[in-house]
Structure 1
Amino acid sequence: MIGESRETAELRREMAAWRNRFLRLLDRSPTPTAISRTDGALMIANPAFATLWGLGPGQIRQRNLLDLLVPTDEDALLRATEGLRHGRRSRYPVHVAWDFRGTRGTGRLTVEAVGDEVVSPALLLAFLHVDPVPRGEEPMPALTPTPQEARILALVASGATSALIARSVGLTADGVNYHLTRLCRVLRVPNRTALVAKAYALGLLRPACWPPASQEGR
């Protein structure tokens, strides 16, 4: 900015660099994480958080945390509300449940205030620890992969890159990534590693088989 001192300009650049590092770390975190205002309005959510509702990070922004998550422990919610209201620097876990467009689950939401007196209004950092689905109760995917997607899935499980998969199935790399994004959305996972693990768990990939083969290949 015009008239800005060298020290101020350097501090501004450093703050921007740290913000970008934080956002990159947030995007890569496997833990569903979000930042909201004290009224619950979401400002930032990482892919792992947004995927739980079948949404992208941009789509979930400006939704309200309390509309997505229903507290199931009134006492814990009261303690969290009082603690945040009085500015206590503690983490407050609250058991929650959700049911959004057919996506259901339960977990523990841990909330803590971030920032300092300069930040107004205060912001909340929220981590969602999803309860594991009991064995035998894991829902099957709403859609089954197409034959081409089954082949792509098997190639991903073998460690192939998007470029290599594209050459193998006759698509562009963007085309491969489109199918992978669709599969991640259908199976409600945030990345390729989680996609392969979920595919094995649901029987979409054959276990004890190398290179990995899909059920289509049987």
Structure 2
Amino acid sequence: MQLMIDCETGAESWYERAVVWRNRTLRLLDHVPVPIAVCEYGGRIILANRAMAAEFGLLTGELLQRKILDLFTLRDSATLPVLAEAVRLHRRSQYDARVSWTAAGGVERQGEMNVALVSDTAEERPNLLLSLRTYATLPAPPPPAAPPAPCAAVSPTEARILAAAARGATTARIGKEIGLTTDGVNYHLARLSRRWHVPNRTALVARAYAYGVLAADVWPPEPAHRV
């Protein structure tokens, strides 16, 4: 009987100590400026600090039980299979995943989530310890395509001549295809060369691609716009 009482007392004492240390840990996490959360393997949030909740303008309790992927969007689809394989092989490694999310006030943000697999024993299915690092600035969007230079404008006939020249057709062959004399073909080629300030036919074709007059990644060459 005394042994049972001692065991019960010991269990109660252990539980009380565990509660104390849990509360201390929570208070410590709340003072950490890095957004941190702990999720079950399935993604359900079981712990979050104030910094993580503040990202979404919420209280910590309002994050509990929510799915982490309801809040963040993975930018790299390979992350989930890697985590699943790590759990299967009982690894306890850390992984970085690029994420984006809508923060408080509707602000779109991007950053990196460090995911650490943690558990008390190697046999247990791990929880996911998440820490978030926000990019200081979002990657700049690609600059808009510059409008074509005024000298890039060509007539339908000139576009067809340039396409034929890009195929390596001779002047006589170009004339036959388009219905011009060789002098007529040479006239257009010379006119384009002066307008684009190039010395020969090779440079003329290169400039036609640079100006978007000829369709990219198409063979045989053809005008970018149907003529």
TM-score, normalised with respect to structure 1: 0.54
Whether 1:69 and 2:34 are equivalent positions in the alignment is no
Report deviation, 1:40: 0.6
Q: Which amino acid aligns with 1:72?
A: R
Deviations 1:10-44 (A, max 9, x none): 32222222111111111111000001111111111
Q: Distance in 1 between matches of 2:135 and 2:121?
A: 35
Whether 1:123 and 2:127 are equivalent positions in the alignment is yes
Whether 1:82 and 2:85 are equivalent positions in the alignment is yes
Report deviation, 1:119: 8.7
Q: Distance in 1 between matches of 2:10 and 2:89?
A: 35
Unpaired segments of 5 or more residues in structure 2? 141-227
Match of 1:34 in 2: 37
Alignment of 1:13-24 (within 5 A): 13-24=16-27
After superposition, the CA RMSD in angstroms is 2.8
Whether 1:12 and 2:15 are equivalent positions in the alignment is yes
Asked if the contact 1:53–1:103 (Cα under 8 Å) also holds between the matched residues in 2, the reply is: no
Quickly say closer, same or farther: Cα 1:80–1:89, change in 2 above 3 A. same
Report how many residues are paired. Answer: 136
Q: Distance in 2 between matches of 1:131 and 1:66?
A: 19
Q: Which amino acid aligns with 2:98?
A: H
- What SS class does the counterpart of residue 78 from structure 2 fall into? helix
Deviations 1:69-113 (A, max 9, x none): 111122344323321333211111111111367231111111122
Quickly say closer, same or farther: Cα 1:128–1:85, change in 2 above 3 A. farther
Quickly say closer, same or farther: Cα 1:103–1:120, change in 2 above 3 A. farther
Q: Which amino acid aligns with 1:116?
A: D
Q: Distance in 1 between matches of 2:5 and 2:61?
A: 33
- What SS class does the counterpart of residue 40 from structure 1 fall into? coil
Q: Distance in 2 between matches of 1:119 and 1:113?
A: 12
Larger radius of gyration: 2
Whether 1:102 and 2:106 are equivalent positions in the alignment is yes
Q: Distance in 2 between matches of 1:121 and 1:103?
A: 35
Asked if the contact 1:77–1:94 (Cα under 8 Å) also holds between the matched residues in 2, the reply is: no
Match of 1:196 in 2: none
Asked if the contact 2:119–2:127 (Cα under 8 Å) also holds between the matched residues in 1, the reply is: yes
Quickly say closer, same or farther: Cα 1:53–1:4, change in 2 above 3 A. same
Q: Distance in 2 between matches of 1:133 and 1:114?
A: 31
Unpaired segments of 5 or more residues in structure 1? 137-218
- Alignment counterpart, residue 56 of structure 2, candidates 50, 53, 57: 53
Q: Which runs of 4+ in 1 moved over 6 A?
A: none
- What SS class does the counterpart of residue 115 from structure 2 fall into? strand
Identity over aligned pairs, percent: 33
With CA pairs under 8 Å and 6+ residues apart, which has the higher RCO, 1 or 2? 1
Alignment of 1:138-217 (within 5 A): none
Q: Which amino acid aligns with 2:57?
A: G
